[in-house]
Structure 1
Amino acid sequence: MFRRVDVPVLGIVENMSYFCCPNCGHRTDIFSHGGARAEAEKLGVDFLGEVPLDIAIRETSDGGAPIVMSQPDSPHAKVYRAIAAQVWAKVGGAGARRAGPRIVVE
């Protein structure tokens, strides 16, 4: 659909990619794993990263203080910053200046 309407896809992120038990540290792929990476390869777009399923992400977001702001040094915040850095680089960073889309009404 995005290609039909000429919307650029900057990449794909696998949300709720895995769960790490807070008690034992064991990683579990609750919802399967790797589907987003496979889809990115299939579509020829970048795979931007894996966001874990974690209660701290939900609690901080619901509380109005997302994890990147409330716990900036946490591993989860680092995941979000790495994804954001890739997107920022793709759109040209601070010096980017692109013309807006040309809208044609027929």
Structure 2
Amino acid sequence: MWEEAVDIHQLRSGHWARSEQYLHRIGRRPTPECAQCDDKECPAGRCLVCSEAADTPAHVLLECPCLYGPRLRALGNIIGAAHDVRRDDVVAALAAGYMAHKSRSATLPLRR
């Protein structure tokens, strides 16, 4: 419950500690190519789940294609709107879905 409340608050404030883009922006996820930047197009800040865009709160809550299922269950639609994520239960469900996908993608074997 505590972690869920923290995720909700951090996602809404744009300072989600589970976001690659946020961690790169504050210098916690440097790469050999880029130590730190605020560029949302920087590959270091890409969503580890879909790799389509930076994993900003808007991407996670409203756009990430890997969260179509959780978004459909929570909202009745695969694409969300800003007013849809005012409810804490919706934000918590999408954060949990994102983390589940992220942990699965981290444990997949490398393709050769």
TM-score interval for Structure 1 and Structure 2 normalised by the shorter chain? under 0.3
Structure with max Cα Rg: 1
The normalised TM-score by structure 1 is 0.26
The normalised TM-score by structure 2 is 0.25
Structure number with the higher strand fraction is 1
Structure number with the higher helix fraction is 2
